[in-house]
Amino acid sequence: MSSPTATAKGYGISNTSNYTDFSVQEFKLKTPHADDVTLDIEVCGVCGSDVHTLTGGWGDLSAPWVVAGHEIVGKVTHVGDNVKEFKVGQRVGVGAQVLSCLKCDRCNGDNEQYCPEQVDTYNAKFPDGVESQGGYSTAIRTHQRFVFAIPDAIKSEDAAPMLCAGLTVFSPLVRNGAGPGKTVGIVGIGGLGVNFAIQFAHHLGAKVIVFSHSPNKKDDALSLGADEFVSTSEDGFADKYFDKIDYILSAADANSIPLGDLLSTLKVDGKLTSVGLPDEAWEGLKPQMMASNAACVGCSHVGSKKEANQMLKLAAEKGIKPIIDEVLPMSQAAKAIESVKNNTVRYRYVLKQDLA
């Protein structure tokens, strides 16, 4: 087999103060190894993480020029000698992680996303110093552990947002027992919530109660599987749900949510997991909020390959797909980033590769 391509082209930025000033440059791909898969990119979803990174909300860029994007779908162009799961021409996806040590207890226990040596898909460096660059580009190469087969039943543009947004909510739902006989609360119904959290919780068999400050999204929430919709802007909204909810997943990307009211709805030893990661610290978080019912507040980070494959299988079987506002040419990345930042997009953008 011929050698894999060494470089790709992408849309990147060099200054978080000018986060919509994208330029096209060529960059070096990951140094190839026997366990690597190389793919030509077809589409890439626009994630809230992209906005937080490109605007500097999560800190400085790790390189002079960064290509964002970690909801990637494309076709395999090369596989290393150790790769047996994938073949050239196969449609696959890559999410928010491209490497880990693959040797520690976490990696060996299907918790590779929590490996202390994990490498993000972009704005990071591989162990040899090569910069990781994301999916607003023509190609990507990564270890096969972080590549996922896309079922034929799922369109590429629908699969892309699942690889970060979908997996980010699927993992905590399954790890916290969402299923028959359980009542799950979903907070925030933007790109993560209404697109996937509601659908996955519903199709896993749980009763789903949505808490939102956006009443104009009620119909969408109910049509996707929510059993009840609660407006958090109403006084006393949590009173009737006291001691009714087993688990809450918050997808709200905000530093001010009615945390005390939400925690009061949990049963004893219940848990709230936040997968929304706002730039600023939460307002008003106090241990006293959790004392009356031994509630816990936690966070979660994407998911494992095992969970990604489970998620894609469920989505294919149940017809789960995101609400996509628009598929844009990748050259319009600036428009997409600005719209997500300003909250003028209702749910989700997907970018179609246009450089090759």
Residues 268-317 have pLDDT tens digits of: 999 999 998 877 888 888 889 999 999 999 999 999 999 999 999 999 99
For residues 48 and 76, state if they share a domain.
yes
Q: Are 71 and 184 in contact (CB under 8 A)?
A: no
User: What's the whole-number mean pLDDT along residues 7-36?
Assistant: 97
CB within 8 Å of 75: residues ≥ 6 apart: 39, 40, 42, 89, 90, 91, 92
Residue from 278, 306, 261, 327 nearest 55 by CA: 278
Q: Are residues 103 and 221 in the same domain?
A: no
pTM over 0.85: yes
pLDDT given for residue 3 in this prediction: 83
Same domain, 29 and 130: yes
Residues 125 and 99 in one domain: yes
Mean pLDDT, rounded, of the chain: 94
Answer yes or no: do 104 and 187 share one domain: no
CATH number at 192 reads 3.40.50.720
Neighbours of 211 (CB within 10 A): 27
Question: What one-character DSSP code corresponds to residue 123?
Answer: S
Q: For the segment 26-71, what is each residue's pLDDT rounded down to a tens digit? A: 999 999 999 999 999 999 999 989 999 999 999 999 999 999 999 9
Tens of pLDDT, residue by residue over 96-127, are 999 999 999 999 999 999 999 999 999 999 99
* The token pair that represents 53 in the structure block: 């990174």
pLDDT tens figures, 199-253? 999 999 999 999 998 888 899 899 999 999 999 989 999 999 999 999 999 998 8
Take residue 289 and report the two structure tokens written for it.
């909020």
pLDDT digits (tens, 9 = 90+) for 265-274: 999 999 999 9
Tell whether 43 and 129 lie within a shared domain.
yes
Residue 256 lies in a domain: yes
User: Domain with 312 in it: what CATH number?
Assistant: 3.90.180.10
Q: In terms of domains, do 339 and 324 share one?
A: yes
Answer yes or no: do 317 and 267 share one domain.
Answer: no
pLDDT at 1 over 80: no
Nearest-angstrom CA–CA distance, 238 and 259: 11
Output the CA angle 305-309-312, nearest 5 degrees: 135
Structural domain contains residue 1: no
Q: Quick one: CA dihedral 301, 305, 310, 316, positive or negative?
A: positive
In Å, the largest CA–CA distance within the chain is 66
The answer to whether the CB of 96 falls within 8 A of the CB of 302 is: yes
Give domain status of residue 108, yes or no: yes
